[in-house]
Amino acid sequence: MGVSPSASDQRLTTMSQAIDSRPAPSEANPFHIAQRQFDEAAEYLDLEPALRELLRWPRREYKFTIPVRMDGGGTRVFHGYRVQYNDALGPTKGGLRWHPEETLDTVRALAAWMTWKTAVMDIPLGGGKGGVTCNPKELSEGERERLARGWMRVMARELGEHRDVPAPDVYTNPRIMAWMMDEYEVITGRSHPAVITGKPLVVGGSVGRDDATARGGVLCVREACRRTKVNPRGTYAIQGFGNAGQYAALLHEDILGGGKLVAVSDTSAALHNPDGFDPRETVDYKLRNGHLAGLPGSREISSDELLALDVDVLYPSALENVITETNAGDIKARIICELANGPTTPEADEILNRAGVHVIPDFLANAGGVTVSYFEQVQGTYNYYWTLDKVHRELEANMVNAYRAVCKMHDEQQVHMRMAAYLVAVARVAEAVKIRGWV
Ligand code: NAD
């Protein structure tokens, strides 16, 4: 499985041939995309066929029905899922999404990506994901509670701090995690705070979870400035001003010792101020008004103009596929920290790499959240809770080590940062599979 730099070009050629000879995957199917990304890394690492076949599929998946008694009388049947993609490195871990368009394939893809995310962070967990096809906005609080407890009743036997640990994701929240933990404890008759993470503090949540995703990304940016000699007190722009974007604005200057926030955007507007926005006032304005439009001292620009600003650091923190073949050539940022999932298309990655832009790929840049979720699991298992200072110190050590491991692979193999992150992650899972004697 070792990768010889001298063989890298030849392997890349073989990789393209191997990939091109397969039937084209449906680009709309996220699991096909996840498999294709894995296939590229597997080809590069020259993994043997059985190991490849094992890692390109989930180890276990559950698809089931959840009957829920509705407030107006009668019962509605929901479809639920849990995919335990790979547990060679440890118990599987990953969020629960409640979404009208949830399918088994979206859950499979997200479970695969969780596997690579925990592996690149070198935390002793595998990857999983779960969900329910539903529109939670149409459900009352009582219906949501019965759905959460119903999901747990079906899955309880397959979960546990040493098996599989869910967490919140799209349209699920700490309250739902508390109901699920409670149902699990009713079923097992014991206390199990580590069976699920993202819980409210009063029932075993961890301090430091709120800003963990942004904190992890900004710590990578600090390391990236040192590595690339970019001015850490330079300019930065943030696309998307929700949980991840707002915390990035607040933490950037703290962690880097300065900096000037020159542009921000949300769905209401993209705004520019070359003299710099005050991050605290900008967050307060957004919280007070629910949007950024009308922020004093700003000039409205287009979304593409924001991405093309001449800044030291750009944080895409909103959506997938915003940096594409069409606009990647206009990007002037020296460092891109992908707090959002999937903001850069594969074609854009190549363009950015050729232009020397340092990209911190999503599953490294936004892994602070799952890392603090792991800390919550550890604290719950010991039933002993850490101080905020300890959470911050542990997170910093994990992020810095992961960032450096990816940079080392990037330097040694001369691949772009996203491929380097895949190589680190897939190699770790593959090694664990082999050492266990699965193949
Ligand atoms: P959020 O819903 O709190 O915020 C999203 C923000 O993006 C909102 O301000 C919204 O107005 C803005 N937005 C949406 N479309 C936009 C557009 N076209 N242009 C500009 N802004 C736009 O979500 P979040 O939790 O901050 O997540 C943002 C991204 O980070 C997602 O890709 C998510 O998967 C990823 N992420 C978040 C976490 C986390 O812990 N919050 C963890 C891992 C990954």
pTM greater than the 0.85 cutoff: yes
d(CA 107, CA 64): 13
State the pLDDT confidence band at 17, using cuts at 50, 70 and 90. Answer: very low
Confirm or reject: Cβ of 213 under 6 Å from ligand 1.
yes
Domain 212-360, CATH class in plain words? alpha beta
- 341: CA distance to ligand 1 center in Å? 9
Q: What mean pLDDT comes out for the span 207-232?
A: 97
Closest CA to 169 of 252, 85, 82: 82
Ligand 1 atom, smallest distance to 362 CA: 44
d(CA 294, CA 266): 12
Q: How many Cβ atoms from other residues are within 10 Å of residue 439's Cβ?
A: 15
Confirm or reject: Cβ of 317 under 6 Å from ligand 1.
yes
Q: To the nearest whole number, what is the mean pLDDT of the chain?
A: 93
Chain segment 98-144, per-residue pLDDT in tens: 999 999 999 999 999 999 999 999 999 999 999 999 999 999 999 99
66: phi then psi, degrees, rounded to nearest 5: -130, 105
Q: What mean pLDDT comes out for the span 198-215?
A: 97
Protein residue with least CA distance to atom 28, ligand 1:
318
Q: Where are the domains of the chain?
A: 5-56, 60-192, 212-360
Residue 203 has pLDDT above 60, yes or no: yes
Q: What H or E segment, with its residue span, contains residue 358?
A: strand 358-360
State the pLDDT confidence band at 321, using cuts at 50, 70 and 90. Answer: confident
- 91: CA distance to ligand 1 center in Å? 28
Is 60-192's fold the same as 212-360's? yes
- 384: CA distance to ligand 1 center in Å? 32
Q: Is 408 in the active site?
A: no
Residue 24 has pLDDT above 80, yes or no: no
Q: What mean pLDDT comes out for the span 299-321?
A: 96
Contact 163, 91 (CB under 8 A): yes
Residue 12 has pLDDT above 80, yes or no: no
Confirm or reject: Cβ of 120 under 6 Å from ligand 1.
no
Residue 18 has pLDDT above 80, yes or no: no
d(CA 91, CA 85): 10
Which residues, in sequence order, are CB contacts of 79 under 8 Å at separation 6+?
63, 64, 65, 66, 132, 133
Topology of domain 60-192 in CATH is: Rossmann fold (3.40.50)
Establish how many alpha carbons lie within 13 A of residue 111's alpha carbon, considering only the half-sphere containing its beta carbon: 32
